[in-house]
């Protein structure tokens, strides 16, 4: 039986939604799904090397006043960071992370080396649309 494919358009650069995306892709990895993640706009900022896993440089999308409480709760519960979720999913199954070329340029990322080591390539929006069209599950966060 062929593995199912999930396509994720990752628009967000907020720590709460990146964490949620990490949980989703971990679930997909546990189900042995192939996962293509297309990092768009604000998401590309979060993947820059100088930001990456530094939650202090990321905002909250939902109720920004709760960021400190959210981060403290994650720490107390020993919940992985969003980067750790993504890294572990890549170790378990076929997860590819594609940075949108325009989004990268908007945030000062011209080449793959400008982004954390999880990024596999830089591509155009057509790659995302083709992947979404072929996917069994298509999400946009």
Give the start-to-end residue ranges of the domains of the chain. Answer: 5-140
pLDDT interval class at 63 (50, 70, 90): confident
Give the whole-number percent of the chain exceeding pLDDT 70: 99
pLDDT number for residue 108: 95
pLDDT number for residue 1: 62
Over residues 93-106, the mean pLDDT reads: 97
pLDDT interval class at 64 (50, 70, 90): confident
Superfamily of domain 5-140: DsrEFH-like (3.40.1260.10)
pTM: 0.93
- Computed over every residue of the chain, the mean pLDDT equals 95
pLDDT number for residue 98: 98
pLDDT value at 70 more than 90: yes
Over residues 55-79, the mean pLDDT reads: 92
Output the six-digit token pair for 137.
Answer: 């599950």
- Pick from 14, 141, 21: nearest CA to 66: 14
């Amino acid at each position: 039986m062929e593995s199912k494919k999930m396509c994720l358009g990752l628009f967000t650069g907020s720590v709460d939604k990146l964490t949620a995306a990490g949980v989703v892709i971990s679930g997909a990895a546990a189900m042995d799904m192939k996962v293509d993640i297309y990092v768009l706009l604000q998401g590309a900022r979060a993947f820059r090397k100088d930001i990456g896993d530094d939650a202090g440089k990321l905002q909250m999308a939902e109720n920004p006043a709760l960021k400190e409480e959210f981060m403290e709760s994650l720490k107390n519960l020993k919940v992985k960071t969003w980067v750790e979720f993504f890294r572990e999913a890549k170790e378990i199954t076929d997860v590819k992370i594609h940075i949108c070329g325009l989004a990268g340029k908007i945030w000062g990322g011209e080449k793959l080396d400008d982004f954390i080591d999880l990024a596999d390539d830089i591509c155009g929006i057509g790659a995302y649309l083709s992947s979404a069209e072929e996917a069994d599950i298509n999400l946009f966060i």
